[in-house]
Amino acid sequence: MQVKLNPSFKGRDFIAISDYTTEEIFEIFDVARQLKKLQHERIPHHLLAGKTLGMIFQKPSTRTRVSFETGIYYLGGYGLFLSPSDLQMGRGETIKDTALTLSRYLDGIMIRTFDHEEVLELAHYASIPVINGLTDLMHPCQVMGDLLTALEYKGGLSGLKCAYIGDGNNMCHSLLEGGARVGMHVTVACPPGFEPEESILSRARQEAQATGARLEVIEDPWAAVAEADLIYTDVWASMGQEKDAAEKEKHFARYQVNSKLVAAARPDVIVMHCLPAKRGREITDEVMDGRHSVVFDEAENRLHAQKAIMALLMQ
């Protein structure tokens, strides 16, 4: 199998799903599925032989680090893990100077950080592709893996209903953008005061007009899961919000994804979680390990979706 890479992707950044058209997103999925098949069959696919990816981690990670580091290896390239203690950014060097310098050494940069503006600034000054591995505002690579998983299980995405149960956080924002792009209806159920940012919801709704996706935010989790094809949840207190965890649990107690809530959805519903999970809080063991869960297929597909993104952007 020879994987063909569309040259129009070369040199672009991957900051948000909304930066890509519906057709381009499905082209990424197509490449991801080809690369997944090659990997499972142990067929070498060194599309990025001799190329280097710098991986900037201002936030710790399990899945992001391992999936990007092994992904660039499978593609024939080399990944450099760069923690805050490895970079001068944490000691006063500007993002601009970091971007200009790394552009002379590397073929691509992945950054996982807190402030979304840091990613935008890095991409502005870098002359090589910048991939958003996560910010407090967005988590686009995760959602690409999620949508790839839903595509595998459901055979299509347009017209599916996704019920997102939990905090209106970075995962929620990228799911709204992803749903808008692929025609998937997204219903967010969250307590008052924890809604997604209105500017992101409004923009996603405008984009959804082209695909027919319906995007809504409601309070009742039971109404959200009615006729849902997919139930999605995330931790109630995101990284950096640990001090608020106990207070948030009071607000989110009725938003747990448990067997009763899952039973109120479609019989063939699939359940997703971006991980790490706080078992017994936002999701129960019974659901996490149950027949509806595709959580670990979803975790694997992060690798394949990100390999496709890297291959296309860094070709």
Residues 65 and 159 in one domain: no
Residues 219 and 308 in one domain: no
The active-site residue, picked from 274, 281, 304, 306, is: 274
The active-site residue, picked from 13, 146, 167, 234, is: 234
Residues 172 and 104 in one domain: no
Residue 2 lies in a domain: no
241 pLDDT band (50/70/90 cuts)? Answer: low
The active-site residue, picked from 45, 139, 173, 292, is: 139
Name the 3-class secondary structure at 137.
coil
Cis bond before residue 276 (omega within 30° of 0): yes
Residues 121 and 105 in one domain: yes
Instruction: Determine the pLDDT at residue 190.
Output: 97
Give catalytic status of residue 112 as yes or no. Answer: yes
Residues 13 and 109 in one domain: yes
| Out of 23-27, 56-60, 116-120, 121-125, least confident range | 56-60
| Percent of the chain whose pLDDT exceeds 90 | 90
117 pLDDT band (50/70/90 cuts)? Answer: very high
Across all residues in the chain, what is the average pLDDT? 96
Residue 1 lies in a domain: no
For the segment 236-252, the average pLDDT, to the nearest whole number, is 79
Residue 236 lies in a domain: yes
Give catalytic status of residue 97 as yes or no. Answer: no
Give catalytic status of residue 244 as yes or no. Answer: no
Residues 158 and 114 in one domain: no
Contact 264, 304 (CB under 8 A): no
Give catalytic status of residue 12 as yes or no. Answer: no
User: Which residue in 260, 264, 257 sits closest to 293, CA to CA?
Assistant: 257
Residues 52 and 198 in one domain: no
293: which DSSP letter?
B
Q: Is 40 exposed, middle or buried (0-12, 13-18, 19+ CB in 10 A)?
A: exposed
Instruction: Determine the pLDDT at residue 240.
Output: 65
Separation CA 253–CA 238 (nearest Å):
16
Residues 226 and 307 in one domain: no
Residues 285 and 175 in one domain: yes
Give catalytic status of residue 274 as yes or no. Answer: yes
Instruction: Determine the pLDDT at residue 247.
Output: 83
Give catalytic status of residue 104 as yes or no. Answer: no
Separation CA 313–CA 103 (nearest Å):
14
90 pLDDT band (50/70/90 cuts)? Answer: low
86 pLDDT band (50/70/90 cuts)? Answer: confident
88 pLDDT band (50/70/90 cuts)? Answer: confident
Residues 149 and 124 in one domain: no
pLDDT tens, position by position, 162-208: 999 999 999 999 999 999 999 999 999 999 999 999 999 999 999 99
45 lies in which domain range?
A: 7-138+302-314
Tokens of 74: 């499978």
Give this prediction's pTM: 0.96
The active-site residue, picked from 58, 142, 256, 306, is: 142
Instruction: Say yes or no to pLDDT of 242 above 80.
Output: no
Query: What are phi and psi for residue 211, nearest 5 degrees?
Result: -110, -10
| Percent of the chain whose pLDDT exceeds 70 | 99
Residue 103 lies in a domain: yes
Residue 228 lies in a domain: yes
The active-site residue, picked from 12, 45, 292, 302, is: 302
**Domain tally for the chain?**
2
Instruction: Determine the pLDDT at residue 4.
Output: 95
Residues 118 and 195 in one domain: no
Residues 48 and 121 in one domain: yes
What CATH number is attached to the domain comprising 112? 3.40.50.1370
